Chain A
Amino acid sequence: MTHNPFRNETGGRIDRNSPVGFEFNGRIYAGYDGDTLASALLANGVFLTARSFKYHRPRGVMGAGVEEPSCLVELLGADAGGNHAATTVRLQPGLRAKSVNCWPSPNFDLMSINQLFARFLPAGFYYKTFMWPNWHLFEPSIRRAAGLAAAPDDKIPDQHFETRYWYGDVLVVGGGPCGLLAALIASRSGARVMIVDDHPHPGGYLRASQTEIDGKPAMEWVAAVIAELDTNPEVTRLQDATAWGYRENNLLMITERSPAESHVFQRGWKARAGQVILATGAIERNLVFTNNDLPGIMLASAVQTYLHEFGVMPGRRVMIFANNSSAYALAHDLQADDLQAAGTAIAGIIDSRPADAIGAEKDGLEIPIYTAHQVTAAHGGKHLRALSIRADDGNIKRVDCDLLAVSGGWNPAVHLFSQARGTLAYDDELASFVPDKAAQRLACVGAAAGKMNLASALADTISTITASLGEDGFESPAFTMPISAASPDYHLHPLWHVDGMKPGDKAFVDIQNDVTLDDIGLAMREGFDTVEHVKRYTTAGMGIDQGKTGNVNVIGNIAEASAKSPGDIGTTTFRSPFTPVDFGSIAGHRNGATVLPFRHTPITQWNRDHGAVMYEAGARWQRPGYFPIEGGDMQDAINAEAEAVRYGVGVYDGSPLGKFDVSGRDAAAFIDLLYTNDFGDLEIGMGRYGIMLTDDGMILDDGVTFKLADNHYLMSTSTGFADLVYRHMDYLLQVECPGWQVWITPVTSQWCNATICGPNARDVVEALGTSIDISNEALPFMAMRDGIVADMPARICRVSFTGEVSFEINVWPRHAEAMWRRIMEIGAPFGIVPVGSETSHVLRVEKGFLSLGHEVDATADPYDLGIGWIMSRTKTHAIGRRSVDIRRSSGKPRRELVGLIPETNGELVPEGAPITPNGERVASEGFVSACVWSVVNKQVIALGLLTNGRARIGETIIIRDQERMIKAVVTKPCFHDPKGERLRG
């Protein structure tokens, strides 16, 4: 038997035959299928559910939906996630939740001592107090005390997210009467339609009202509309799904929280529509008076929702405090006989409007109506017990109640409209902001458009959707307007706060962030007089709820204090997301390698089989870092590989190097345009190193280009920049040289290569058996030939990235593994070893060869790197040439490539460590770009860029590694075979 002391015997849309057990703050409770966590807690009489953010004041549930400012929970277990409003958490078997902001429990909260210090915690307190030495010192402990929920530590095993796309004609946001009507008309016109509703069930506010449509309960009309929509295959209907972001070109970001497929935890939708209809309704706002945050004070609309949706009556003796006509509907509902019989007493309405302003809404009410009265304070410790109410003659009296339903008026939910960059206008009659000019193809209907009367809102919806469908060529069939029962007109007198507070009284304008009326006043006295500044200084409108119930009150109070209209104050920017979104629903299945797949060469499996430590080496290519050796560490393994190349023979898989086949009538001219150096005299079968620059004179890439035939080249690029180089070339050909005939074919994965390098490399190639004459005379350095190697078609290129004799054996991918195995087998007697990318790095640093991303960053030009010879004197038209010349003509000192020998006793210096004048804490004069243990020099060597470095060879400079100072001697940037005799051998 479920014990729900505040649940009515009948009424509500919950299933009383399906009890649902759940845990809250470690205690076990039961609710029913159809409950939210908030409604179930209220039904159980759990009214104190949270502690406030800053002062740790007791708080309860105030709202019934996304507007909830107060009752935030952290979900545990399979649903784990932080900072959910309890009003939006569907009750499910096994749900476990706990309050945020209190420890150990909301009833006994040790942090509530903050209340005693409240006068020391005014607006801007953090900014003023924790400035020295810097905020980051204090932030962690303040955040912990503030205690918004922690993110789950680990990936939750069963939280499987996915993403879907939808494209269509009409997207309707909101499942209330106007949204349903718009979707129905669009559906009948033949358009492809999506309707998104953030409630688990359609109907919007009709679910919480006694309104009739077509002479029947409104929910019967809703059921008929849904039945028709669901038979149309062109209609997609999402329930329990929030459209939280309005992006450019009518793209909406939607999170669906309970997809039909049970294995999907949440589904993110990206939906793009020809036109969007925003039927997002309106959000009720709070009233600002002393202790307006006490548990037992709720929005009037929320009380109606608990009553009609959940069958929960969260109080026995009810008062209503309003400045408008809408809350009277609740009074009418509460007069019902069965509620009275069950012990609910509606004790009266406190209306701040004068008697003559109150119209038909009061007809039929048999309860006291205190016109021109205001609530000056709520009383009670952890729950509401009584109110002080003041008549317009100033007399104050006390009335007892345990539930106060407040209504400060309604704010059209313009969030998505505003995210779409539409402008807002202030409406004096509504005392709120309404949509003005749309910036995308969208329309607001119903309460979102400021139409607060159901009958006129429905009529307006029909004309709006019919017209906009017509613009897109859809003909709406004749439509009879659903007749809704006449309801009293919406009428309001603004009441931004109740006057007459005593010092120390707290009246909250932003419940979630604990921002009081005093804080707004303080911010304004200190000169923060625009709404954006007040928001930042006080934090009003920030946080999980983004001020849905409080923002307009903030604006109203700023306006009142500065004697302006709220329209002159304006709103803060409405940002996405409308409600909190799990990151998982944005990412979907796009995770790790699914976003950016790894690239592998055919040798990957061999590498793994031989114990290689694999990692990414640019552009997602997976390469062996090094091959561990028995009884040695990583450095030992690297040293062994490097020594093999320097004194014997090694082989590495060079396949990831970028390669492009460039051909066509104008190919030679194109190569000439790309590279700064001359290629005109390059002979067929030979290659040349080149540098290409961007227009602003930065180095884009370097590499060797071979001439295969007249106007036919094979260009190689660095591994990481191949895609960028392709983009650069394609841009030039399509945009700048459209008449040129040049074809570029990426062939990176069409040619794999094993590069055999070291003094014994030629012997290994001979032993493999080849049809190509590989003598130094027939195949000199930088030459290439096609032929047969080890019985396979192959192309041998003699380039060297190691400084030793190298033979790059290029084969088709299908032969790559076979070639590799043959090389390892035939090379074994020569002591051949596989070489990883760590060793390649050591070898190139010893030689002073450049590496993009190390020595070559977005500041260095070829002169700085000691290769000024590559800037052809005759080729002034080469891309980037002019910009380099202009920059250098300023005569400012440049950072130049140098070698460095750090005094570290064998320890490596971190790459990127700055070099500063005399090691002082001043602006750097350079940095270490690479640092390795040199096997030929038997010491630590480094490369770096140093201001005027070439003139400073022999000098001792100082590298700063955090607090450590390392002396280093400046040398030429080459530590091995400076004349290059070995690689030409």
Chain B
Amino acid sequence: MLSLPCPFCGQRDETEFLNAGPAKPARPNADVTDSKWVEWLTVPVNTIGYVEEKWWHAKGCGKWFTIKRHTVTHEIKMPDEDGR
């Protein structure tokens, strides 16, 4: 059970949240090629290290937010902690 930093509510247990998978780049424009579209849709980043994830504070304030989670240690940072 992770401990997640909700931007509004602070540090809370994972049971209050729903995971929505990897955070995707912005939705591509309509004029991208089909293969680019499929790539956006289906290819998540899966590294050993930090990945970006979307979480929803479903049993809390309802905020959708992005975190960076280390896939080995589960260390969690907010995306802007390293300049993004």
Contact A248 B20 (CB under 8 A): no
Query: B20-55 toward A: CB 8 Å interface, digit per residue (1/0)?
Result: 100000010010001001100110000000000010
Residues of B within 8 A of A882 (CB): 30, 37
Cα A272 to Cα B73 with chains together (Å): 15
Report if B58 contacts A (CB, 8 A): yes
Residues of A within 8 A of B56 (CB): 727, 730-731
Contact B41 A735 (CB under 8 A): no
With A249-B2, A727-B18, A730-B62 as known contacts, state yes or no: A883 contacts B41, CB within 8 Å: yes
CB interface residues, A 465-519, toward B, < 8 Å: none
With A248-B1, A439-B73, A731-B20 as known contacts, state yes or no: A736 contacts B58, CB within 8 Å: no
Report if A894 contacts B (CB, 8 A): no
Report if A886 contacts B (CB, 8 A): yes
Contact B1 A735 (CB under 8 A): no
Report if B78 contacts A (CB, 8 A): no
Cα A247 to Cα B18 with chains together (Å): 18
Report if A877 contacts B (CB, 8 A): yes
Cα A469 to Cα B24 with chains together (Å): 39
Residues of B within 8 A of A877 (CB): 30
Report the minimal beta-carbon distance from B74 to chain A, rounded to whole angstroms: 4
Report if A847 contacts B (CB, 8 A): no
Report if B77 contacts A (CB, 8 A): no
Chain A residue nearest to B28 (CB atoms) is A882
CB interface residues, B 48-84, toward A, < 8 Å: 54, 56, 58, 62-64, 72-74, 76
A-B contact count (CB 8 A): 49
CB interface residues, A 395-447, toward B, < 8 Å: 421, 439-440
Contact B20 A886 (CB under 8 A): no
Report the minimal beta-carbon distance from A232 to chain B, rounded to whole angstroms: 25
Report the minimal beta-carbon distance from A440 to chain B, rounded to whole angstroms: 6
Contact B74 A248 (CB under 8 A): yes
Residues of A within 8 A of B64 (CB): 730-731, 734-735
Contact A270 B30 (CB under 8 A): no
Cα A696 to Cα B43 with chains together (Å): 12
- Chain A interface, number of residues (Cβ within 8 angstroms): 24
Partner of B37, one of A250, A270, A886: A886
Residues of A within 8 A of B30 (CB): 876-877, 882
Cα A154 to Cα B37 with chains together (Å): 54
Residues of B within 8 A of A886 (CB): 34, 37-38
Contact A727 B58 (CB under 8 A): yes
Cα A373 to Cα B78 with chains together (Å): 61
Residues of A within 8 A of B41 (CB): 695-696, 883
Chain B residue nearest to A247 (CB atoms) is B1
Report if A251 contacts B (CB, 8 A): yes
Residues of B within 8 A of A272 (CB): 3, 13
Chain A residue nearest to B63 (CB atoms) is A734
CB interface residues, A 709-741, toward B, < 8 Å: 727, 730-731, 734-736
Residues of B within 8 A of A251 (CB): 1, 3
Cα A941 to Cα B19 with chains together (Å): 41
Cα A248 to Cα B13 with chains together (Å): 11
Chain A residue nearest to B37 (CB atoms) is A882
Residues of B within 8 A of A695 (CB): 41
With A736-B27, A877-B30, A886-B34 as known contacts, state yes or no: A439 contacts B3, CB within 8 Å: no
Report the minimal beta-carbon distance from A696 to chain B, rounded to whole angstroms: 6
| B2, B18, B64, most chain A CB atoms within 10 A | B64
Chain B residue nearest to A438 (CB atoms) is B73
Report the minimal beta-carbon distance from B43 to chain A, rounded to whole angstroms: 12
Chain B residue nearest to A250 (CB atoms) is B3
Report the minimal beta-carbon distance from B57 to chain A, rounded to whole angstroms: 11
Report the minimal beta-carbon distance from B84 to chain A, rounded to whole angstroms: 16
Cα A272 to Cα B30 with chains together (Å): 46
Contact B73 A440 (CB under 8 A): yes
Chain A residue nearest to B69 (CB atoms) is A248
Cα A507 to Cα B36 with chains together (Å): 62
Report the minimal beta-carbon distance from B28 to chain A, rounded to whole angstroms: 10
With A695-B41, A730-B56, A731-B64 as known contacts, state yes or no: A249 contacts B34, CB within 8 Å: no
CB interface residues, A 133-188, toward B, < 8 Å: 165
Residues of B within 8 A of A249 (CB): 1-3, 74, 76
Report the minimal beta-carbon distance from A972 to chain B, rounded to whole angstroms: 34
Report the minimal beta-carbon distance from A944 to chain B, rounded to whole angstroms: 29
Cα A883 to Cα B40 with chains together (Å): 11
Residues of B within 8 A of A248 (CB): 1-2, 74
Cα A778 to Cα B27 with chains together (Å): 44
Report the minimal beta-carbon distance from A368 to chain B, rounded to whole angstroms: 53
Cα A696 to Cα B44 with chains together (Å): 14
Contact B73 A421 (CB under 8 A): yes
Chain A residue nearest to B20 (CB atoms) is A731
Cα A272 to Cα B15 with chains together (Å): 14
Cα A731 to Cα B20 with chains together (Å): 9
Chain B residue nearest to A733 (CB atoms) is B64
Residues of A within 8 A of B58 (CB): 727
Cα A21 to Cα B60 with chains together (Å): 52
Report the minimal beta-carbon distance from A437 to chain B, rounded to whole angstroms: 10
Residues of B within 8 A of A270 (CB): 1
Report the minimal beta-carbon distance from A425 to chain B, rounded to whole angstroms: 17
Contact B72 A421 (CB under 8 A): yes
Cα A695 to Cα B28 with chains together (Å): 12
Residues of B within 8 A of A165 (CB): 13
With A249-B2, A734-B64, A735-B64 as known contacts, state yes or no: A439 contacts B72, CB within 8 Å: yes
Report the minimal beta-carbon distance from A743 to chain B, rounded to whole angstroms: 12
Chain B residue nearest to A887 (CB atoms) is B38
Cα A735 to Cα B73 with chains together (Å): 27
Residues of B within 8 A of A421 (CB): 72-73
Report the minimal beta-carbon distance from A585 to chain B, rounded to whole angstroms: 16
Residues of A within 8 A of B34 (CB): 886
Cα A831 to Cα B44 with chains together (Å): 59
Cα A876 to Cα B72 with chains together (Å): 41
13 contacts between A and B (CB under 8 A): A249-B1, A249-B74, A272-B13, A421-B72, A421-B73, A440-B73, A695-B41, A696-B42, A727-B56, A727-B58, A731-B64, A735-B54, A883-B37
Question: Ordered nearest first, which 4 A-B pairs have the shortest CB separation?
Answer: A248-B74, A249-B3, A734-B64, A439-B73
Binding site for B on A (CB under 8 A): 165, 247-251, 270, 272, 421, 439-440, 695-696, 727, 730-731, 734-736, 876-877, 882-883, 886
New A-B contacts (14) at CB < 8 Å, excluding given A883-B37, A886-B38: A249-B1, A249-B74, A250-B3, A251-B1, A270-B1, A421-B73, A439-B73, A440-B73, A727-B18, A731-B56, A734-B63, A876-B30, A877-B30, A886-B34
